[in-house]
């Protein structure tokens, strides 16, 4: 099969199309539309990402939930799980999946329990608008938005199929989640180098 190049102005691609592409850049597919991923993020983005992912990884050892960091394809089906019907494929910075039936060799098919996105210059609109909508619609239980330069975290929790925002967490705060009883994320530890 010959690799294809997508037409970036075309409005309706599927996961089946996505699998045929051989690109030099990372892309995400949101409601059938291609979104280029930002160039390599700043060092602080990577530090925060690896710090949180490693804390989750260590906490989840031996437990049913698993954590994955980017690039990791999360397919969010609407009407069916067939590749030609899936129009949203995202690469969250960090995903926590507690239902092992959602995992396969290609990544995750269905909503992770927790998605963590770390803002970078150039991706704020995509994270705060487009991804917010697909995460809410697909049933992601918690969507964490981290602004590393402002050292803040906002958590959207799904309640009756709609996101409810938390207060803004900052330095000195601890984050707990009912999805992972016993897990505590101390923000001063996450942002310590930047304080």
pLDDT digits (tens, 9 = 90+) for 168-183: 999 899 999 999 999 9
pTM reported for the whole predicted model: 0.89
* Domain assignment present for 173: yes
pLDDT at residue number 6: 56
Q: Is residue 4 part of a domain?
A: no
The answer to whether residue 19 is domain-embedded is yes
Query: 45: pLDDT confidence band, cut at 50, 70 and 90?
Result: confident
Spatial CA neighbour of 147 closest among 123, 165, 163: 123
Buried b (16+ CB within 10 A) or exposed e, 74-89: bbbbeeeeebeebbbb
Whether residue 99 lies inside any domain: the answer is yes
Count of the separate structural domains present in the chain: 1
Q: Pick 56 or 19 by higher pLDDT.
A: 56
CATH of the domain at 132: 3.90.1570.10
Residue 169 lies in a domain: yes
**Does 92 fall in a domain?**
yes
Task: List pLDDT tens digits, range 101-136.
Answer: 999 999 999 999 999 999 887 656 656 778 999 999
Phi, psi of 175 (to 5 degrees): -110, 130
pLDDT in the model for residue 92? 95
Domain that holds residue 42: 15-194
Q: What is the mean pLDDT of residues 87-96?
A: 95
* Average pLDDT of the chain, as a whole number: 88
Is residue 120 a part of any domain in this protein? yes
Asked if the model's pLDDT at residue 139 lies above 60, the reply is: yes
According to DSSP, the β-strands at 114-118 and 142-147 are parallel
130 token code pair: 């487009």
**For residue 96, what pLDDT band results from cuts at 50, 70 and 90?**
very high
The answer to whether residue 86 is domain-embedded is yes
- Predicted confidence at residue 55, as pLDDT, reads 97
Write down the pLDDT at residue 195. 42
pLDDT at 24 over 80: no
């Amino acid at each position: 099969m010959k690799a294809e190049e997508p037409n970036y102005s075309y409005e309706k691609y599927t996961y089946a199309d996505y699998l045929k592409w051989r690109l030099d850049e990372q892309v995400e597919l949101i409601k059938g539309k291609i979104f280029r991923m930002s160039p390599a993020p700043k060092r602080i983005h990577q530090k925060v990402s690896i710090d949180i992912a490693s804390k989750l990884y260590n906490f989840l050892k031996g437990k049913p939930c698993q954590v994955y960091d980017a690039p990791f394809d999360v397919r969010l089906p609407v009407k069916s799980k067939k590749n030609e019907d899936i129009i949203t494929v995202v690469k969250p910075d960090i995903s926590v999946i507690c239902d092992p039936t959602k995992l396969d060799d290609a990544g995750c098919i269905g909503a992770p329990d927790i998605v963590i996105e770390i803002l970078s210059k150039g991706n704020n609109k995509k994270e705060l608008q487009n991804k917010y909508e697909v995460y809410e619609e697909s049933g992601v239980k918690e969507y964490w938005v981290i602004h590393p330069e402002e050292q803040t975290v906002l958590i959207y929790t799904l309640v009756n199929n709609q996101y409810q925002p938390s207060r803004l967490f900052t330095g000195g705060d601890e984050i707990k989640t009912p999805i992972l009883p016993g897990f505590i994320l101390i923000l001063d530890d996450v942002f310590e180098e930047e304080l």
